[in-house]
């Protein structure tokens, strides 16, 4: 990219930011009109609630802002690449997205979109796309080298369904072909794809693997997302909750950059809210099986005991292992003691338990939950590079 093109990019960033919402809305509308098949690929729930609109164009703008030093974004691009690979995004689809993104810049900026500006943005998009395609190709190849690894969608059969709490059910998924399935790092997720009759197309969703790797099945634990007032029920989670043993489901290979390194002897602090319990359970089981005996502290928050997923499993592990301490915060509870506390998670109240030299901190929950506890940890003196987090939606947070 020439210095002149870089200047054109930088000059248009403020205008594109001001028109950000218009640009992204226009882009998705245009793309789904011309390429309706992509409705099977994108999360149309996130289109309805506005979350995805920020993610894709936001990332392109972030790239433009770091045009002088794009290397700074490599960690973020790895995370996006993992999400794309779990959705089986192809290089050909980059051409489609590029065409519509560049046409949208032209249409939204109108007179301001000179030939020079469009040429510079075409170059910037193509460079970013090339970096991402290369990251994704490596991930696809890496999946294929694993024993039992695959690329694309693979049919799995639901072999067992377990009620874990008031709103969460676990689904045990076995490969239909009965062949090997690859191991994963505790904390990673799979994407499942479900046909939604009311929409007339398929919808993909990510679900964290909620147990340690067991060679003959993957376990996911799904919260039934119930709408309220004018907000409709979640499309895929409600469909999955209606599934029965023997039903088939399409699954992609495990992916994700939020996972614990179980061979390290760093202490671990897990902080989860509601359904954010799922990757933590996988991490906890993996630590338990590894026999490392590292110090693990788990702080979980949920509405009340009935909503406390994996309560008995964690209690059992805690009774039998002095390396584990667990604390819960219930919004509603009659009982209060050292372990069970009332209200929302308050990390400062647990300072003596969770501030451990050399510890790594894992947070999973909704966006405001992550933000609040990330900030508490920083206030308590934890360094940014010891904190890892996963948002159960398009990754919008950029806090470290
Ligand atoms: C990496 C990752 C891991 C995840 N792991 C898990 C897991 O282990 N377990 C789990 O249960 N989930 C997990 N999720 C979330 C999961 O992928 C789905 O997002 C979730 O199940 C909701 O999907 P849905 O189709 O039911 O809801 P959607 O139809 O996608 O709707 C999403 C939410 O938006 C609301 N909504 C719908 N329409 C509107 C509207 N017009 N305006 C405002 N709000 C609206 C819905 O009520 C719902 O709460 C994970 C997500 C990611 C990214
Ligand atoms: C340079 C081009 C692209 C950029 C910068 C980009 C950026 C992003 C970002 C930031 C996210 C959110 C990541 C996360 O949740 O952690 C995302 C998710 C996603 N991207 Fe891309 N993307 C690009 C190209 C594509 C292409 C070519 C496709 C396929 C047509 C695609 C499809 C998706 C889908 C389906 C999701 C998940 C959406 C959701 O769950 O709501 N992206 N992308």
Which atom of ligand 2 is the closest one to the Cα of 97?
A: 27
For 95, the token pair is 């051409």
78 is catalytic: no
Q: What is the pLDDT of residue 220?
A: 98
Of 94, 172, 217, 218, the active-site residue reads: 94
User: Domain ends where: 190, 223, 251?
Assistant: 251
Q: Is 59 in the pocket of ligand 2 (CB under 6 A)?
A: yes
Q: Is 275 in the pocket of ligand 1 (CB under 6 A)?
A: yes
Q: Where would I find the H helices in the chain?
A: 3-18, 20-34, 44-48, 51-65, 74-86, 91-109, 115-145, 235-241, 277-290, 311-320, 351-354, 367-379
Nearest CA to ligand 1 atom 52: 392
Please state the length of the chain: 400
Number of domains in the chain: 3
Q: What is the pLDDT of residue 55?
A: 73
Q: What is the pLDDT of residue 365?
A: 94
| Domain of 308, in residue numbers | 268-391
For 44, the token pair is 């149309």
Ligand 2: centre distance to CA 51 (Å): 12
For 8, the token pair is 């054109």
Q: Is 236 in the pocket of ligand 1 (CB under 6 A)?
A: yes
Which residues does the chain have with pLDDT short of 70? Answer: 48-54, 393-400
Q: Are residues 126 and 14 in the same domain?
A: yes
Nearest CA to ligand 2 atom 7: 56
Nearest CA to ligand 1 atom 42: 49
Q: What is the pLDDT of residue 334?
A: 94
Q: What is the pLDDT of residue 230?
A: 85
Of 28, 63, 125, 136, the active-site residue reads: 136
Quote the CA–CA distance of 75 and 301 in Å, as a whole number.
Answer: 29
Query: How do residues 156-180 score in pLDDT, each as one tens digit?
Result: 999 999 999 999 999 999 999 999 9
136 is catalytic: yes
Q: Are residues 385 and 300 in the same domain?
A: yes
CA dist list (Å): 292 to 188, 286, 324: 20, 10, 12
Question: Residue 56 is part of a domain; what is its CATH number?
Answer: 1.10.490.10
Quote the CA–CA distance of 107 and 121 in Å, as a whole number.
Answer: 14
First CA to last CA distance, the chain: 28
Q: What is the pLDDT of residue 309?
A: 98
Q: What is the pLDDT of residue 70?
A: 82
Q: Are residues 122 and 17 in the same domain?
A: yes
Nearest CA to ligand 2 atom 27: 94
Question: Residue 237 is part of a domain; what is its CATH number?
Answer: 2.40.30.10
Task: Specify the 3-state DSSP secondary structure of 97.
Answer: helix
Query: How do residues 347-379 score in pLDDT, each as one tens digit?
Result: 999 999 999 999 999 999 999 999 999 999 999
Q: Are residues 230 and 273 in the same domain?
A: no
Ligand 2: centre distance to CA 193 (Å): 16
Nearest CA to ligand 2 atom 4: 56
**Crossing angle of helices 74-86/115-145, nearest 10°?**
60
Q: Are residues 192 and 311 in the same domain?
A: no
Residue 396 belongs to some domain of the structure: no
Cα 114 to the center of its chain, rounded Å: 38
Which atom of ligand 2 is the closest one to the Cα of 58?
A: 10
User: Domain ends where: 251, 276, 307?
Assistant: 251
Q: Which ligand is nearest to the CA of 51?
A: 2
Q: Is 43 in the pocket of ligand 2 (CB under 6 A)?
A: yes
Q: Are residues 67 and 85 in the same domain?
A: yes
Q: Are residues 336 and 247 in the same domain?
A: no
Q: Are residues 199 and 134 in the same domain?
A: no
Residue 112 belongs to some domain of the structure: yes
Residue 261 belongs to some domain of the structure: no
User: Domain ends where: 76, 110, 145?
Assistant: 145
């Amino acid at each position: 990219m020439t210095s002149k093109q870089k200047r054109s990019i930088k000059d248009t960033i403020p205008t594109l930011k001001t028109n950000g919402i218009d640009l992204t809305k226009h882009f998705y509308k245009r793309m789904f009109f011309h390429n309706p098949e992509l409705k099977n690929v994108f999360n149309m729930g996130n289109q309805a609630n506005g979350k995805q609109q920020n993610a894709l164009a936001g990332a392109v703008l972030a790239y433009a802002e770091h045009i002088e030093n794009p290397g700074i974004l490599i960690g973020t691009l790895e995370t996006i690449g993992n999400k794309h690979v779990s959705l089986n995004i192809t290089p050909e689809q980059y051409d489609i997205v590029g065409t519509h993104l560049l046409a949208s810049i032209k249409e939204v900026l109108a007179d301001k979109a000179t030939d020079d500006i469009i040429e510079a943005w075409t170059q910037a998009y193509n460079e970013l796309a090339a970096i991402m395609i290369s990251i994704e190709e490596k991930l696809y190849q890496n999946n294929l080298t694993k024993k039992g690894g695959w690329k694309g969608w693979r049919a799995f059969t639901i072999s067992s369904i377990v009620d874990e709490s008031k709103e969460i059910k676990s689904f045990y998924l076995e490969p239909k072909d009965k062949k090997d399935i690859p191991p994963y790092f505790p904390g990673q997720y799979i994407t499942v794809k479900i046909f939604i009759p009311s929409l007339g197309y398929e919808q993909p969703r990510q679900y964290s693997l909620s147990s340690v790797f067991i060679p003959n099945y993957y376990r996911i634990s799904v919260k039934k997302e119930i709408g309220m007032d004018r907000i409709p029920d979640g499309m895929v989670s409600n469909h999955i909750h209606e599934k029965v043993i023997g039903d088939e489901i399409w699954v992609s290979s495990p992916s994700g950059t939020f996972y614990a390194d179980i061979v390290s002897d760093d202490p671990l602090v897990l902080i989860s809210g509601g359904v954010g319990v799922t990757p933590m359970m996988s991490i906890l089981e993996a630590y338990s099986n590894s026999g490392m005996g590292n110090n693990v502290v788990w702080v979980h928050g949920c509405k009340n005991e009935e909503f406390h997923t994996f309560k008995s499993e964690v209690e059992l592990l805690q009774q039998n292992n002095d390396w584990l301490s667990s604390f819960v915060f219930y919004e509603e509870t009659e009982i209060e003691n050292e372990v069970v506390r009332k209200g929302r998670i308050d990390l400062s109240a647990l300072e003596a338990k969770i501030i451990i030299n050399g510890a790594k901190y894992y947070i999973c929950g909704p966006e405001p939950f992550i933000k609040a506890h990330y900030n508490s940890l920083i206030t308590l003196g934890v360094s940014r590079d010891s904190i890892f987090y996963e948002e159960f939606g398009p990754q919008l947070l950029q806090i470290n």
